[in-house]
Structure 1
Amino acid sequence: MKKIAVFASGSGTNAENLIKFFQNDTTAKVVLVLSNNSDAKVLERAKSLAVDTLFFNREELLDPNFIIKALHLYKVDFIVLAGFLWKFPEHIVKEFENKIVNIHPALLPDFGGKGMYGMHVHKAVIAAKVKETGITIHQVNAQYDEGAIVFQAKCTVDPKDSADDVARKVHKLEMAHFPKIIKNILLSDA
């Protein structure tokens, strides 16, 4: 069974969805949720589902040993970024090469890069008057949102949609696809 660590900075709905999806699955299990935000709701969600949590600051993230030691302690095989807002350090990317994926709330390469997360993305989608948006699940490398694309799912953007409307549509795609794609990746790695 593969052991998954989830990094998140906010509310944690994707992390919770992953934890629940894998609770009774023989493929994998979420064993640790890590956050750079001590007030993040994701930490509460994980604890309520009996998953260990770890809060860290920027210095600890950049320390070549701190996070990697924790990941090895939990025997983590795979890392999922689910609303994690800081750039992922190169030393972790190298240690877990091709074993880290991120979910982005748009169709990369559009609306990606530094500062493009959450409502910032949805507002940019509305401002650009595009006809569709969606989610991208991609491998993580040393650059923001530039790793190889693993999966995309689309939804329409109606002319009358607000950023909140787009956020709801994208969230539905995340809930429907993210856990299944993670499972497919892990099964193809087996």
Structure 2
Amino acid sequence: MKKRIAILASGSGTNAQKLIEHFSESAEIEIALVLSNNPDAFVLQRADNYEIPTHIFTKEEFYNSEEIVGLLKKMDIDFIVLAGFLWLIPKNILAAYPNRIINIHPAILPKFGGKGMYGDKVHNAVLASGETEGGITIHFVNEHYDDGEYIYQGRYKIEKGDNLEMIKFKGQQLEHQHFPRIVESVLKKIKK
């Protein structure tokens, strides 16, 4: 039986797309569900293009009910991947999926992480700091923003004259290159 992944995303879904493509031919792992807190998120269209079921939820459903855990269990989800998802994961989901939720962050943690640090806010902070390298962190999710155990960190050089678009591009290249591979390696270690 295939291991089944649910992706949580809030935006465009480029990392979700890479994961969907990566596992589309896998005999062992499948993307079984895409969930979003944003009804206008382009990730929903990406999932639809691959005929992957989607679910849109409200803050009330996410934080004050068992609806999402119930849906994940009903869909036989084994693992959760956050791909540009901006909300903190509630305790009931963390308890239902211990060490089975991972996230990707567009910086080398612990710097440039925490509440409110996502997307361009992270990249602008990296640029403003004068750092000579940026990167990505793939980590397990716990009850705090960007605080779980690191699984993988990748780095790129920040050259003199690099602007926001350049470092976003460099970071996204690293994300697309490594995220599917790291998700697969973590999943291979867990029992169905």
TM-score w.r.t. structure 2 length? 0.97
**Residue 156 of structure 1 pairs with residue 157 of structure 2:** yes
The aligned runs of 1:50-89 (5 Å cut-off) are 50-89=51-90
Deviations, residues 26-82 of structure 1 (Å, cap 9, x unaligned) = 221000000000000000110011100000010010134110011011100000000
Cα distance in 2 between the residues matched to 1:90 and 1:65: 11
CA drift of 1:145 comes to 0.2
User: Residue 110 of structure 1 aligns with which residue?
Assistant: 111
Q: SS of the counterpart of 1:69?
A: helix
Q: SS of the counterpart of 2:102?
A: strand
Q: SS of the counterpart of 2:51?
A: coil
Does the Cα contact within 8 Å between 2:80 and 2:102 map onto a contact in 1?
yes
Cα distance in 1 between the residues matched to 2:35 and 2:59: 12
CA drift of 1:87 comes to 1.0
The worse-fitting range, judged by mean Cα deviation, of 158-167 and 72-81 is 158-167
User: Residue 144 of structure 1 aligns with which residue?
Assistant: 145
User: Residue 100 of structure 2 aligns with which residue?
Assistant: 99
Cα distance in 1 between the residues matched to 2:180 and 2:7: 12
Does the Cα contact within 8 Å between 1:129 and 1:159 map onto a contact in 2?
no
Does the Cα contact within 8 Å between 1:27 and 1:183 map onto a contact in 2?
no
The letter for the 1-side match of 2:113 is: G
User: Residue 165 of structure 1 aligns with which residue?
Assistant: 166
CA drift of 1:126 comes to 0.2
Does the Cα contact within 8 Å between 1:10 and 1:37 map onto a contact in 2?
yes
User: Residue 13 of structure 1 aligns with which residue?
Assistant: 14
The aligned runs of 1:12-51 (5 Å cut-off) are 12-51=13-52
Q: SS of the counterpart of 2:114?
A: coil
Q: Where has structure 1 moved over 4 Å in runs of 4 or more?
A: none
Cα distance in 1 between the residues matched to 2:43 and 2:139: 21
User: Residue 187 of structure 2 aligns with which residue?
Assistant: 186
Structure 1, gaps ≥5 residues long: none
Cα distance in 2 between the residues matched to 1:88 and 1:164: 29
Aligned-pair identity (%): 46
CA drift of 1:13 comes to 0.5
Aligned residues: 190
TM-score w.r.t. structure 1 length? 0.98
Deviations, residues 7-38 of structure 1 (Å, cap 9, x unaligned) = 00000010111011101112210000000000
Structure 2, gaps ≥5 residues long: none
Q: SS of the counterpart of 2:98?
A: coil
Does the Cα contact within 8 Å between 1:27 and 1:186 map onto a contact in 2?
no
CA drift of 1:174 comes to 0.6
CA drift of 1:159 comes to 2.1
Cα distance in 2 between the residues matched to 1:39 and 1:167: 22
Cα distance in 1 between the residues matched to 2:180 and 2:28: 12
The worse-fitting range, judged by mean Cα deviation, of 156-165 and 2-11 is 156-165
